[in-house]
């Protein structure tokens, strides 16, 4: 949305495509405490709404599509021409910004799909209230896991955080809040191996990675935050480099190494996943796209493509 806003302000013809609600994971985040300008925190949905209003101020509703991009490619005849396809339509452009984020990784257990709606969830803000007065488990050790665990203490009788290491990866201030919460407990060096209950979740079986011993934790809810996978399946461009996990590598200008093609946000290979970083990188991508288009026009290579 930041990239779209900056692009719109430079009078580029902008097409914004999103497969869901604008704002991505902000829409499933309870509160955001580290975005400048909101010292008393701001709700994730509220911030996503403000972002979308700002972006759409500079982009007409006719140039905003809610659809899934099936393919992004570069013309074999002219590297300056790109094609963006959705199911029933294709768009020709000179520049494209990949800002598709990442999808949470699924828990690797037998009969995974069986437990959806029966206790397994990947969104505390969506499902937390269903477990009022009941024990729940959170899997993960980063900021997302611990922050959502803290959020769940509003409803749950107890929240047990299961982490495969012997210390959390969350920021110190988040850890301090978690360790001081009387409703939170921790199972270290452990992973989930199976779920039990009928017809809904009743127990989570874990295995200690050091002792190989197994035990069961009584829980009616299981919330998973074990990382994410970049949304890049639609990118069909030879020459784009990714890291071992599939995140797109760019230079400091957000360029992927193909003229006019940029990547920004959580889809990009960068060790930190923060809204403020994504905003900054989105602005860089849009401004560099504008420079690229200006240079094409200067050289007489601009073809007057749609976007």
pTM equals 0.82
Express each pLDDT in 10-19 by its tens digit: 988 999 999 9
pLDDT at residue 307 is higher than 60: no
- What token pair was written down for 243? 């890291």
Residue pair 12/290 in contact (Cβ under 8 Å)? The answer is yes
Best CATH choice for the domain 2-103+228-298 from the list 3.30.420.40, 3.50.50.60, 3.40.190.10, 3.90.226.10: 3.50.50.60
In angstroms, the CA 196 to CA 205 distance is 8
- pLDDT by residue (tens digit) across 156-177? 999 999 999 999 999 999 999 9
Mark whether 93 is an active-site residue. Answer: no
Q: What's the half-sphere exposure (Cβ side, CA atoms, 13 Å) at 8?
A: 19
Query: Could you tell me the pLDDT band of residue 304, with boundaries at 50, 70 and 90?
Result: low
Sign of CA dihedral 16, 17, 21, 27: negative
CA distance 204 to 189: 15
**Which of 67, 78, 126, 233 is labelled catalytic?**
126
Of these residues, 40, 77, 93, 127, which one is catalytic? Answer: 127
Active-site position among 30, 123, 189, 269: 123
Is 126 labeled as catalytic in the residue annotation? Answer: yes
Give domain 106-224's CATH number out of 3.40.50.300, 3.50.50.60, 1.20.1560.10, 3.30.160.270. Answer: 3.50.50.60
State yes or no: is 212 an active-site residue. Answer: no
Give all strands (DSSP E) within the chain, no chain letters. Answer: 16-18, 31-32, 42-43, 64-66, 71-74, 82-86, 89-93, 96-98, 102-104, 120-121, 135-139, 158-162, 184-187, 190-196, 203-208, 214-218, 221-224, 228-230, 261-263
The CATH 3.50.50.60 portion of the chain extends over 2-103+228-298, 106-224
């Amino acid at each position: 949305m930041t990239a779209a806003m900056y692009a719109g302000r430079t009078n580029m013809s902008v097409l914004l495509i999103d497969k869901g609600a604008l704002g991505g994971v902000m829409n499933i985040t309870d509160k955001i405490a580290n975005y400048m300008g909101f010292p008393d925190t701001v709700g994730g949905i509220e911030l996503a709404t403000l972002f979308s209003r700002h972006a759409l101020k500079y982009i007409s509703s006719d140039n905003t599509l809610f659809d899934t991009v099936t393919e992004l490619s570069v013309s074999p005849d002219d590297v300056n021409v790109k094609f963006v396809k959705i199911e029933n339509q294709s768009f020709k452009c000179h520049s494209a910004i990949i800002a598709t984020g990442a999808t949470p990784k699924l828990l690797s257990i037998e009969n995974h799909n069986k437990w959806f709606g029966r206790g397994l969830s990947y969104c505390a803000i969506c499902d937390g209230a269903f477990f009022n007065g009941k024990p729940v488990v959170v899997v993960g050790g980063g900021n997302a896991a611990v922050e959502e665990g803290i959020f769940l203490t509003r409803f749950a009788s107890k929240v047990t955080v299961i982490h495969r290491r012997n210390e959390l990866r969350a920021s110190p201030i988040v850890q301090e809040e978690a360790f001081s919460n009387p409703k939170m407990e921790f199972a270290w060096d452990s992973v989930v191996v199976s779920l039990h209950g009928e017809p809904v979740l009743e127990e989570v079986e874990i295995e200690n990675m050091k002792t190989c011993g197994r035990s069961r934790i009584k829980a009616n809810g299981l919330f998973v935050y074990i990382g994410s996978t970049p949304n890049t399946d639609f990118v069909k461009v030879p020459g784009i480099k990714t890291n071992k996990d599939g995140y797109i590598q760019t230079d400091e200008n957000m360029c992927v190494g193909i003229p006019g093609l940029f990547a920004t946000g959580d889809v990009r290979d960068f060790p930190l996943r923060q809204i403020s970083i994504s905003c900054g990188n989105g602005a860089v991508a849009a401004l560099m796209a504008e420079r690229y288009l200006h240079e094409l026009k200067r050289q007489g290579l601009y073809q007057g493509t749609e976007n």
